[in-house]
């Protein structure tokens, strides 16, 4: 399916990450935004609102982030591609409806422009502190797809990817931006509308009185219908059978919830995307995502100049985590070096998936972020010299902190 | 009802052959009967009145969507044969707002309880009323959180007992019609489960009303509220309504407080016109688009 050209601002533009996000959403066919003001995400909604009349999109600013995601789920069931934008404290409030979105299998996109936390934190500084929350924040078992852009261009491109994943697998998809990417202005090239391929929503096409909202296709994804089309269906956030009726048995929990997890795990190979460079001869691999991957790339280039064999594994999809690839690489490298703008989140996944075959060095960046290539270089040198495999994550406190 | 589990894990209840067709069968999910409500509960009466009102107001059932929250009344969406959503606690109004704004052709009905709409969902209630979202809110008020076992609610009358007010409720309750009117609702009425005919008429009127309409339905809860307060069974509660309800249309909503076993004033209190959210939205849209030409 080609996208609607009305939303595509084809050309080359100087855009901030936040503005590129709104343009990416329009290009991905998003026609509903639920929002609540929060620094540093607010420019996304401002841009969306300014352009909405021309594009034919609707929006509403709700009374809090709890109601925002509820409204987005409601809007998605009318057939509109829907999204919301927020930051850490807002994401915390959205956890309730993230779970409902997973249970009702409602496609939607949540953009989280991460700020420093916990609590009130520093709303004007970047962080990658919500990575685990996006995966585990709502109660119960679920799987989610999360993408981490590192530039305005990626912000634009990943919005299209995010909407495609959400429609393909009927799940809420998180785009984990941060304050750095949000306010970074770079050149963004927006392709013509006929070059943007969208995954259409999978609609049920059978008899109206025969529709079962959760009767799954072979790939565990049930086809959907819109409100107001005469199907008169019922869906519930309680554990339900394929008619959408609540059934409170353990068997039904298995029947209902297991596919929610399986539909992502089973297709993880299709979803997972990484960008690799210089891995062939690498002794040490930098694993990074989002804004920190910019610092990692620079550190890698510098280290290569001084003759150290360093490669880079940049995560495009943080969730599902590229388990197989990391396990494979762990067998043939000395160490992974993981810089993050937090005190240890995705590094835990890297450690888990390396199964003790390689050292895992961690550089907690606090909020100093992407300027810190010197620290990364220092840790790379240490990682190359280290002879023994040590237990657990080796935390390297950066000089600046 | 006996339930069977097939090999595919699909749970199919055995539906007994019905001799008599229920008059509301086209609007109810008969494959889900019997419902979960206790005998002498008033929620079923409210649902009957609502389905009758849908017919009376000649609403196209394909274009009405019903959203419920959590609680006894939260189960209503599951029994009504419309596009129906059983959502999170307190958030049906927010969910319904999304539906209405994304597709203004859908009439949204929110059917939920007093705890759901007025306590945890209080913020969404007042803001939807302020925006005047085109939506009918049916609030079944049984003075208590019934599904969780009879806890004190924001509508529990002063001094009434509940499992979390063992020495009598010390908080003054919300007056729902007053809250609705002062927040901006365009249609506000209150009836009890005894006033089926008047309730039906009121719901039919509210369904056709443009804007945020609130109908409060006072319902007996024999299992929790009546029992812990020694008020007898459902029939005794109905008798109490019969003897103590006073119908005063147009009464100032300030005077509609409900005390413990005091007089209950019912009627239609507010019926006014205000531009709805979508009217203002499309007006704004026309102006913006006009200005750009």
In chain B, pLDDT over 70 holds for what percent of residues? Answer: 92
Domain segments of chain A: what residues? Answer: 5-195, 274-395
CA–CA dist A98, A139 (Å, integer):
10
Predicted local distance difference test score (pLDDT) of residue A346:
96
Averaged pLDDT score across all residues of chain A: 93
Helix (H, G, I), strand (E, B) or coil at A23: helix
Q: Which residues contact A104 (CB under 8 A, 6 or more apart)?
A: A73, A235, A237, B85
The CATH class of A274-395 is alpha beta
Burial class (CB in 10 A: 0-12, 13-18, 19+), A385: exposed
Who wins on pLDDT, B8 or A373? A373
In chain A, pLDDT over 70 holds for what percent of residues? Answer: 98
DSSP summary character for residue A197: B
* Candidates A53, A63, A227; nearest CB to B106: A227
* Candidates B10, B101, B124; nearest CB to A60: B101
Q: What is the pTM of this model?
A: 0.93
pLDDT band at A250 (very low <50, low <70, confident <90, very high): confident
Pairing between β-strand A234-236 and β-strand B83-86 as defined by DSSP bridges: parallel
List the single best residue of B1, B85, B290 to mutate versus A (max A Cβ within 10 A): B85
A278 dihedral zone (left: phi>0; alpha: psi -120 to 50; beta)? left
pLDDT band at B24 (very low <50, low <70, confident <90, very high): confident
Q: Which helix (H) or strand (E) holds A364?
A: strand A359-364
Domains of chain B: 22-292 (3.40.50.970)
Q: What is the pLDDT of residues A231-248, one digit of tens each?
A: 999 999 999 999 999 998
* Candidates B67, B85, B124; nearest CB to A63: B124
* Candidates B87, B103, B285; nearest CB to A70: B87
Chain B residues within 8 A of A63 when measuring between CB atoms: 123-124, 127
pLDDT band at B211 (very low <50, low <70, confident <90, very high): very high
CA–CA dist A337, A325 (Å, integer):
15
Give the DSSP per-residue string, A221-267: PPPB--TTSS---EEESSSB-TTS-B--SHHHHHHHHHHHHHHHHTT
Across B83-95, average pLDDT: 96
Cα dihedral sign for B40, A249, A242, B95? Answer: positive
Is A32–B98 a contact, with Cβ atoms under 8 angstroms apart? Answer: yes
pLDDT band at B158 (very low <50, low <70, confident <90, very high): very high
Q: Which residues contact A376 (CB under 8 A, 6 or more apart)?
A: A286, A295, A296, A299, A337, A339, A363
For the cut 70, the answer to whether the pLDDT of residue B180 exceeds it is yes
Pairing between β-strand A108-116 and β-strand A81-86 as defined by DSSP bridges: parallel
Helix (H, G, I), strand (E, B) or coil at A162: helix
Q: What is the pLDDT of residues A374-383, one digit of tens each?
A: 888 889 999 9
Residue B221 phi/psi, 5-degree rounding, is -125, 90
Chain A residues within 8 A of B61 when measuring between CB atoms: 232
Shortest distance, CA A145 to any CA of chain B (angstroms): 22
Taking every pair of Cα atoms in chain B, the longest distance, rounded to a whole number of angstroms, is 70
Peptide bond into A40 cis (omega under 30): yes
Predicted local distance difference test score (pLDDT) of residue A117:
87
Is A78–B103 a contact, with Cβ atoms under 8 angstroms apart? Answer: yes
CA–CA dist B167, A394 (Å, integer):
58
Q: What is the pLDDT of residues A95-154, one digit of tens each?
A: 999 999 999 999 999 999 999 989 998 898 899 999 999 999 999 999 999 999 999 999
pLDDT band at B58 (very low <50, low <70, confident <90, very high): very high
Chain B residues within 8 A of A77 when measuring between CB atoms: 83, 85, 99
Q: What is the ipTM of this complex?
A: 0.94
CA–CA dist A171, A157 (Å, integer):
19
The torsion defined by the Cα of B102, B104, B106 and B107, in degrees rounded to 10, comes to 120
Across A342-364, average pLDDT: 93
Q: Which helix (H) or strand (E) holds B143?
A: none
Q: How many CA atoms are closer than 13 Å to the CA of A284, on its beta-carbon side? A: 30
The answer to whether B93 and B117 are in contact (CB under 8 A) is yes
For the cut 80, the answer to whether the pLDDT of residue B3 exceeds it is no
CA–CA dist A97, A117 (Å, integer):
21
Predicted local distance difference test score (pLDDT) of residue B128:
97
Cα dihedral sign for A37, A39, A45, A51? Answer: positive
For the cut 80, the answer to whether the pLDDT of residue A394 exceeds it is yes
Give the DSSP per-residue string, B147-185: TTTSEE-TTPPTT--BTTBTT---SPPP-HHHHHHHHT-
Q: Which residues contact A102 (CB under 8 A, 6 or more apart)?
A: A138, A142, A144, A171, A172, A260
Chain A residues within 8 A of B32 when measuring between CB atoms: 245
Q: What is the pLDDT of residues A301-315, one digit of tens each?
A: 999 999 999 999 999
Predicted local distance difference test score (pLDDT) of residue B287:
85
The mean-pLDDT minimum among A59-73, A116-130, B135-149, B169-183 falls in: A116-130
Shortest distance, CA B103 to any CA of chain A (angstroms): 6
Closest residue of chain B to A49, computed from CA coordinates: B285
Predicted local distance difference test score (pLDDT) of residue B19:
67
User: Smallest Cα–Cα separation from B128: which of A69, A56, A64, A89?
Assistant: A64
Same topology, domains A5-195 and A274-395? Answer is yes
Predicted local distance difference test score (pLDDT) of residue B1:
45
Helix (H, G, I), strand (E, B) or coil at B68: strand
Helix (H, G, I), strand (E, B) or coil at A398: coil
CA–CA dist B223, B40 (Å, integer):
9
Who wins on pLDDT, B10 or A185? A185
Averaged pLDDT score across all residues of chain B: 92
Q: What is the pLDDT of residues B224-241, one digit of tens each?
A: 999 999 999 989 999 999
Q: What is the pLDDT of residues A180-237, one digit of tens each?
A: 999 999 999 999 999 999 999 999 998 888 899 999 999 899 999 999 999 999 999 9
Q: Which helix (H) or strand (E) holds B135?
A: strand B135-141
For the cut 60, the answer to whether the pLDDT of residue A361 exceeds it is yes
A352 dihedral zone (left: phi>0; alpha: psi -120 to 50; beta)? alpha
In chain A, pLDDT over 90 holds for what percent of residues? Answer: 82
Helix (H, G, I), strand (E, B) or coil at A185: strand
* Candidates B29, B81, B95; nearest CB to A74: B95
Write the CA distances from A318 to A261, A289, A321, integer angstroms.
16, 8, 5
Predicted local distance difference test score (pLDDT) of residue A401:
39
Shortest distance, CA A32 to any CA of chain B (angstroms): 7
CATH architecture classification, A5-195 = 3-Layer(aba) Sandwich (3.40)
Burial class (CB in 10 A: 0-12, 13-18, 19+), B153: buried
Is B95–A245 a contact, with Cβ atoms under 8 angstroms apart? Answer: no
pLDDT band at A386 (very low <50, low <70, confident <90, very high): confident
């Amino acid at each position: 399916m080609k996208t609607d050209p009305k939303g595509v601002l084809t050309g080359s533009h100087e855009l901030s990450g936040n503005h590129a996000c709104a343009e990416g959403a329009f290009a991905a066919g998003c026609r509903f935004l639920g929002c609540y003001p929060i620094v540093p995400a607010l420019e996304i909604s401002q841009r969306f609102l300014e352009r909405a009349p021309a594009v034919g999109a609707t929006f509403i600013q709700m009374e809090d982030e709890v109601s925002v995601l509820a409204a987005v789920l409601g809007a998605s069931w009318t057939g509109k591609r829907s999204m919301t934008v927020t930051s850490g404290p807002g994401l915390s409030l959205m956890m309730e409806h993230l779970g409902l979105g997973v249970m009702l299998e409602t496609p939607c996109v949540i953009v989280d422009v991460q700020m420093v936390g916990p609590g009130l934190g520093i709303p004007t500084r970047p962080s990658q502190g919500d990575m685990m929350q996006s995966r585990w924040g709502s109660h119960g078992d679920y799987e989610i797809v999360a993408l981490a852009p590192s530039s305005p261009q990626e912000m634009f491109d990943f919005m299209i990817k995010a909407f495609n994943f959400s429609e393909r697998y009927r799940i809420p998809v998180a785009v984990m931006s941060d304050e750095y990417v949000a306010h970074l202005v770079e050149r963004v090239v927006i392709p013509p509308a006929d070059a943007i391929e969208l995954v259409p929503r999978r609609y049920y096409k059978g008899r109206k009185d025969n529709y079962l909202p959760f009767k799954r296709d072979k790939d565990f994804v049930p086809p959907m219908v819109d409100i107001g089309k005469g199907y008169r269906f019922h869906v519930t956030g309680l554990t339900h059978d394929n008619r959408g009726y609540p059934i409170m048995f353990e068997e039904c929990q298995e029947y209902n919830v297991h596919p929610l997890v399986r539909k992502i795990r089973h297709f993880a190979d299709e979803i997972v995307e990484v960008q690799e460079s210089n891995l062939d001869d690498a002794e040490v691999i930098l694993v990074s995502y989002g804004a920190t991957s910019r610092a990692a790339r620079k550190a890698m280039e510098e280290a290569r100049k001084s003759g150290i064999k360093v490669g880079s594994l940049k995560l495009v999809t943080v969730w599902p985590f590229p388990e197989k690839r990391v396990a494979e690489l762990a067998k043939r490298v000395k160490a992974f070096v993981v810089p993050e703008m937090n005190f240890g989140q995705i590094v835990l996944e890297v450690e888990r998936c390396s199964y003790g075959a390689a050292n895992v060095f961690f550089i907690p960046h606090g909020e100093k972020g992407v300027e810190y290539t010197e620290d990364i270089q220092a840790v790379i040198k240490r990682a190359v010299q280290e002879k023994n495999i040590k237990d657990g994550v080796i935390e390297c406190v950066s000089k600046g902190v | 009802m006996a339930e069977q589990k097939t090999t595919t894990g699909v749970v199919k209840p055995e539906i007994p052959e019905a001799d008599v067709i229920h008059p509301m069968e086209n609007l109810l999910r008969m494959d889900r009967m019997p419902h979960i409500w206790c005998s002498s509960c008033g929620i079923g009466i409210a649902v009957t009145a609502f389905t009758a009102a849908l017919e009376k107001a000649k609403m196209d059932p394909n274009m009405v969507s019903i959203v419920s929250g959590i609680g006894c009344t939260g189960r209503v969406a599951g029994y009504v044969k419309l596009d129906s959503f059983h959502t999170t606690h307190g958030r049906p109004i927010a969910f319904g707002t999304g539906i209405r704004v994304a597709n203004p052709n859908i009439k949204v009905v929110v059917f939920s309880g007093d705890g759901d709409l007025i306590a945890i969902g209080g913020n969404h209630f007042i803001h939807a009323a302020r925006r005047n979202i085109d939506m009918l809110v049916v609030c079944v008020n049984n003075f208590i959180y019934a599904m969780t076992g009879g806890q004190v609610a924001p509508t529990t009358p002063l001094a009434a007992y509940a499992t979390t007010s063992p020495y009598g409720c010390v908080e003054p309750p919300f007056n729902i019609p007053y809250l609705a009117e002062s927040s901006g609702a365009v249609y506000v009425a209150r009836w009890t489960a005894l006033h089926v005919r008047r309730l039906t008429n009121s719901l039919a009127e509210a369904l056709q009303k443009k804007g945020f309409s609130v109908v409060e339905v006072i319902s007996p809860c024999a299992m929790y509220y009546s029992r812990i307060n020694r008020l007898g069974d459902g029939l005794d509660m109905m008798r109490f309504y019969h003897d103590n309800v006073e119908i005063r249309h147009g009464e100032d909503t300030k005077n509609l407080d409900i005390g413990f076993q005091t007089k209950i004033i019912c009627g239609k209190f507010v019926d006014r016109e205000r531009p709805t959210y979508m009217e203002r939205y499309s007006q704004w849209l026309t102006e913006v688009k006009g200005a750009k030409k």
